[in-house]
Chain A
Amino acid sequence: MSEMLQLEVITPDRQVFSGEVTDVLLPGIEGEFGVLKGHTPFLSGLDYGLMSYTKAEGSKKEFFVIGQGYAEVTGSRVIVIIETVLPVENVDVANVQKDRDSQQQKLAKIQQDDPEGEKIKKEIKMLDALLKAANRQQ
C-alpha cells in the first residue's frame, strides 16, 4: 500500500473523486505530466485535456476530460481543483461532434462582447478535449 497516492478531484459542484490511486496523469499548462508516489512537491495550472488514474495495480485506467484548474502535488497527495469534469466512457463521437457544431454555430451568431461567448468557448474546448480523448482511446 505504500505505493499509493491520495487523490482528490474537486469541482465547485461536487467532489468527483477521493481515494487512493497508484498513478495520476494530468494535462498541465506546460505539458502533460504523470505523478507517482514520492513526486517532488509541485503546483501547476491545468489546461483542458485528459486526466487519468489507476485505482489499483493492474486495474483499468479511468479517464476524465477536465476543464481549467490547478493541481497541487505533495509527496503522497494530489489535489486537483478544476472547473468542470466529464467522464470519458462510451463516448458517442458523432453526438459530441454534433454538440460541438451547434455550439460553434451559436458562437457565430452572438455578438463579440456577449458574456455568453466565454461560456460557449469553454464548452467547445471541453467538447474538443472529449473528442480528442475518444479518438485516442479507439
Chain B
Amino acid sequence: MAALKDIKRKISAVQKTRQITKAMNMVAAAKFKSSQVRMENFRPYAVKLMEVINSLALRVDMDTHPLLAVREPKRAKVICMTSDRGLCGAFNSGIIKATEKFLIAEKAKNKEVALIPVGRKGRDFFRKKVTVERERVDVMSKFTMDLAVKIGEDFVPQFINAEYDELYIIYNEFRNVSQQKPTVVRLLPLPSIGKEEDVDSSQKVEYIYEPSEEVLLDTFLRMYINVIIYRALLETNAGENGARMAAMDNATKNCEDLISSMTLKFNKVRQSAITAELMDIVGGTEALSKSG
C-alpha cells in the first residue's frame, strides 16, 4: 500500500507544478501582449526618424562626422542583451552562445574586447569570464526610452574620444513567440546612411536649419543610435516574454502528460492491490471450506 501513497503524493506535487506553470504562462502572455504593443507603437517613430535622417544625409556631408569615423579596429565593445530572469526556455542561452562565439572570433583578430551586459542573466554568466563594463541589471521589467539614451550616453562620448574603435550590440531579434534569432549589429562606427544612387533631385532642395545643420546632424545621429538600442531592448523584452510563454506552455503540457501516466500507474497498482486482497480472501475461504 505504501507504493500507492507515494504515487498519490507525486501526482499532487505535479498538479501543483502545473498550476504554477499555467499561471506563469498566463502572466507571460499578458506581458507579451503589452510589450508587443509597445514594439508596434515604436515602429512609426523609428521609421520617421530614419526618413528625416536620410533626407538630411542627402544634403549634408556626413562622412566627416566623428560617429562615422572608421579606425583600425583594435578595441571593441559588445553590448549583450539578455533577460533578467530565467524560466524562458533557450532564450538566454542562445544569446550567450552567440556572444561567446562572437567574442572568440573577435579575439582571434587580436582585438581587445570588453562586454557590456544588459540584463542579469548575461551579467551572471560573463562576470567571471571576461572584462565586464557598466553592467545594467534589473532593467527589463520596466524601462523607457531613457534607458536607451543612458546606454548611448555611456558609450558615444568614449567613441568620439577614440577610447575604443567599434561598438557591437547582440540581442535576440524577435521573430515570433517561439522563435528568436540572436543578432549581431555593428552600432559604431555608423554605416553610411542615405547613399542611394538615384536620388530624386526634387528632394535636394535647400533647407532652412534651426540650429545649424551640423548640430542637427549630430543630435540626429545620436538619436539614431538610441533608437537602435531601444529597439533592441523592446525586442529582447517581447522575446523574453514570448519565450517564457512558450516554455511554460510546454511545461504545462509535460505536467499533464506526467499526471495522466502516473494516474494510469496509480490505477494499475490499486487494481493489483485489490486483486491480491481478493485472492487472499478467496484463498482463505477455500481453505476453510476444504478443512470444514
Which residues of A have CB within 8 Å of B230? 12
Query: Within the complex, what minimum Cβ distance (angstroms) separates A32 from chain B?
Result: 12
Q: Mark B205-219, 1 if CB is under 8 A from A, else 0.
A: 111111101011001
Contact assessment for A45 and B210 in the assembled complex, using a CB-CB cutoff below 8 Å: yes
Taking a contact as CB atoms under 8 Å apart, the answer to whether A81 and B209 are in contact is no
Interface size on B, residues (CB 8 A): 28
Interface-centre pick from B38, B150, B215, B216 (highest chain A CB count, 10 A):
B216
Q: Find out whether the CB atom of B45 lies under 8 angstroms from the CB atom of A11.
A: yes
Could you tell me if A43 and B216 are in contact, using CB atoms closer than 8 angstroms? yes
Q: Which residues of A contact B207 (CB under 8 A)?
A: 40-43
Alpha-carbon distance between A13 and B146 when the two chains are bound, in angstroms: 12
With a cutoff of 8 Å between Cβ atoms, the chain B residues found around residue A58 in the complex are none
Q: Determine the chain A residues whose CB is within 8 A of the CB of B213 once the complex forms.
A: 43
Flag whether B100 is at the interface (Cβ < 8 A). no
- Does A70 lie at the interface of the complex (its beta carbon under 8 Å from any beta carbon of B)? yes
Contact across chains for B211 and A40 when beta carbons are under 8 A apart: no
Closest CB-CB distance, A30 to chain B, in whole Å?
Answer: 5
Task: State how many angstroms separate the Cβ of A41 from the closest Cβ of chain B.
Answer: 4
Q: Are B44 and A15 in contact (CB under 8 A)?
A: yes
Q: Does B49 contact A (CB under 8 A)?
A: yes
Q: How far is the CA of A80 from the CA of B72 in the complex (A)?
A: 38
Interface residues on A, range: 20 to 34
Q: Contact between A15 and B216 (Cβ–Cβ < 8 Å)?
A: no
Alpha-carbon separation in the docked complex, A109 to B154 (Å): 25
* Chain A residue, CB-CB nearest to B49: A81
**Cβ-neighbour of B45 out of A12, A30, A115 (below 8 A):** A12
Given contacts A70-B216, A81-B52, A115-B150, contact A41 B45 (CB under 8 A): no
Q: Which residues of chain B (219-233) have a CB below 8 Å from chain A?
A: 219-220, 230
- The CA of A70 and the CA of B215, in the complex, are separated in Å by 12
- Is B141 in the interface zone, CB < 8 Å from A? no
How many angstroms from the CA of A13 to the CA of B43 in the assembled complex?
9
Q: Is A119 an interface residue (CB 8 A)?
A: yes
Residue in A11, A28, A41 whose Cβ sees the most chain B Cβ within 10 Å? A41
Question: Given contacts A12-B145, A119-B146, is CB(A70)–CB(B210) below 8 Å?
Answer: no
Report if A72 contacts B (CB, 8 A). Answer: yes
CA distance A51 to B38 in the complex (A): 25
Bound complex: CA of A72 vs CA of B207, how far in Å?
10
CB contact under 8 A between A79 and B211, given known A41-B205, A43-B56, A72-B55: no
Partner of A13, one of B42, B205, B209: B42
**Complex CA distance for A12 and B207, rounded to whole angstroms:** 26
How far is the CB of B216 from the nearest CB of chain A, in Å?
6
Q: Tell me which residues across on chain A come within 8 A of B51, comparing CB atoms.
A: 72, 79
Does A44 interact with chain B (Cβ within 8 Å)? yes
Contact B52 A43 (CB under 8 A): yes
Instruction: Please tell me if the beta carbons of B145 and A40 are within 8 angstroms of each other in the complex.
Output: no
Min distance, Cβ A46 to any Cβ of chain B, angstroms: 10
Known contacts A43-B56, A79-B48, A81-B48: does B41 contact A14 (CB below 8 Å)? yes
Q: How far is the CA of A71 from the CA of B271 in the complex (A)?
A: 79
Contact B42 A12 (CB under 8 A): yes
**Cβ-neighbour of B211 out of A14, A42, A45 (below 8 A):** A45
Closest to A69 in B: B223
* Listed A/B pairs (10) with beta-carbon separation below 8 Å: A8-B48, A14-B41, A29-B210, A43-B56, A43-B207, A44-B210, A45-B210, A45-B216, A70-B219, A83-B145
User: Which B residues form the contact surface with A (CB < 8 A)?
Assistant: 38, 41-42, 44-45, 48-49, 51-52, 55-56, 144-146, 150, 205-211, 213, 215-216, 219-220, 230
Top 6 closest A-B pairs, CB basis? A44-B210, A14-B41, A12-B145, A41-B207, A15-B44, A42-B208
